[in-house]
Amino acid sequence: MADIAALTRLIEPEAEKLGFALVRVKMMGGEDGPVLQVMAERPDTRQLRIEDCAALSRALSAMLDAEDPIAEAYRLEVSSPGIDRPLTRLSDYDDWAGHEARINLIEAVTGKKQLKGLVKGREGEAVYLETPRDGELTIDFKNIHSAKLILTDALIKQTAPLDPGDADLMTEEEG
């Protein structure tokens, strides 16, 4: 499988040249073979329009074809993070404070490896999560395997498309 850290180092400058912030790079197995998933967003709106996905997809395709960092055949998928977005960066825990999230841990906290609660922000590498059962917990960012926002009415309201034309599916796939 491909080296995600190396791919991220290749992909991030390309995304930034187009004015996008990289959210996640992930290699996934698919029924038609591996998929390189790249999630990005506009820093000012936290959204990505279909035209943005297409532009980033074209730029990444050209760069990846030239660099050839993945030995096997794969599909490139460029998308916005969506409403129930993954929380992959420390800054996400500040940006999405006040919203519910599901966090999967490497090492258990309070006897659990999966927590669900209200994101309260972060300080340094410490992420704060308030859970109904355990109250406010402090989680070391390095202990987070994966995290994602939970779809709620408040989240839907905050992440409404910029205009009705932006409600289209925001994914661009290339073969």
CATH number of the domain at 111, please.
2.30.30.180
Q: Model pTM?
A: 0.82
How many separate domains does the chain show?
A: 2
Q: Identify whether residues 8 and 78 lie together within a single domain.
A: yes
CB distance 128 to 14 below 8 Å: no
Whether 97 shows a pLDDT value over 50: the answer reads yes
CB distance 67 to 106 below 8 Å: no
Distance (Å, rounded) from C-alpha 57 to C-alpha 59?
6
Please tell me the predicted confidence (pLDDT) of residue 136: 96
pLDDT in tens, 46-86: 889 999 999 999 999 999 999 999 888 999 999 999 889 99
Which stretch of 55-64, 118-127, 159-168 has the lowest confidence by average pLDDT?
159-168
Q: Identify whether residues 67 and 106 lie together within a single domain.
A: no
Q: Which domain holds residue 100?
A: 90-157
In a domain, 163, yes or no: no
